[in-house]
Structure 1
Amino acid sequence: MIVDSHCHLDYPGLAEDEAGVIARAHAAGVDLMVHIAAKRSGWPVGVALAERRPEVFCAVGVHPHEAGQEGLDDPTPLLELASHPRVVAIGETGLDYFYDFSPRDRQAASFEVHIAAAQASGLPLVVHTRDADEDTMAILEAAMAKAPFTGVIHCYSSSRRLAERAIAIGLHLGIGGILTFRKSEDLRAIVEDMPLDRLVLETDAPYLAPVPFRGKTNEPAYTVHVAKVLAEVKGVPQAEIERVTTDNFFRLFPKAAAAVRAAA
């Protein structure tokens, strides 16, 4: 089994071909997906998708790009959805200083509310960070010192220091298509040194399609190409990567693991 731990199935390029996207994922061996509902307006759509598709789970949050308009000041809306049987994570949330689509103070405030929801619910936190390594880790480390939580730095493509600090406080790294890019030698060197039991696979579909599909619409079926390159980086068989990253996923997302066991 391969798991795509982070995709956006309601985005253009995927939503209009839902059945085809799911079928191609299964054909490639990708049997589970976590759809990230990254806007408040998209939460009902994401939950409904997970309700009708047994291979899809849902995470709910407000992307930092939306924090200016939809940023949260209270974890209650997240906690209300956290009890839903198909909602398995909080996020994505975090800081994005590359685009700065939302004021940085609003990004940080909303980020902290999401962390509080993860702490209260026990669900893992899905973290987005871009050009904001230091502030991201300062917020995460301060919160972790107050009350433990689990989570993943999704679409990891940042510095070695960020990876080391995230691992040190118990977080996972989401490895996606960027790992396969020709100019990602530094990223591959960093990932090579990270513990395999802290890595999960993802696509971030419809974005960041891996080689050989770079520039095209990404989709969960392409997770297998990330697994292939990760196997090369780690020097282990691809089957081992698929087994270990799936085990890692179920450990990080225990609610999904319980649902799969119950359905078996």
Structure 2
Amino acid sequence: MKQKFFIIVLISFIANVFAQNNNIDLQLSLGPTLSIPNTSELTNSDVDGRPQIKSKMNIGLFVLPSIKYSLNEKSSLDFGIGYYLDRFSIEDKLGAVTNEGNRNIHQIQTPINYNFHFGTNKSYEFGIGAFASFVLSAKEKGDVITNNSEINIVDPNDPTFSSNTTVSYSKDIKDNYNTVNFGAFLQIKKNITFSESKKGFILLKINQYFNAIKNNNSESDINQYLEFKNEKEPMTVNIGIGILL
């Protein structure tokens, strides 16, 4: 946690130093992150237990201090270092056992993008850029649900029989992700005025990761199941509001 705040403070300090240049503005944006898995459901009936995995959208957050450098009236560059929390809901089933939980991926991102200014008073900006992401931690928490009616050794006539057994779990899944990964994004911003002295913007950004998830080990004895479970790279949508500091 200290690392996250240190990096954010550092970028703020650097930006204040450069802010003496009239072409440079310090920005701070924040808001929710909608994490959208590319694969919503996979099933493999050729493997014992018919493994099935489902991913669902969930909501995280981001905080991004950044520097905006105006090239001219029609274009600018943005560079920032911010904290991002991507969250995914997951349902992973194998036979009678289903894991239902949420994955939280904490990371530092360094986005850079080129903006085209357009519209009335050039109040709109369309940006295209890329980012590097440094994974700080990744955890999954949820419940392991066992459907006892699907287990042959369980007698449903037993007075102690319960159709489902639920046990909570928490596991570290950082090894599932590359510590450093990359992505690209498209962004649109609308500049707004809060008051005579304070300006800001609202933004919509779509991020696509390229190599966040590690490839499976092809030499694994259970490679058939691992290949099936190999998830595709996620997409996230940032919706935020920002101010010029």
TM bin (shorter chain): under 0.3
- Whose helix proportion is higher, 1 or 2? 1
- Whose strand proportion is higher, 1 or 2? 2
TM-score normalised according to structure 1 size:
0.20
Larger radius of gyration: 2
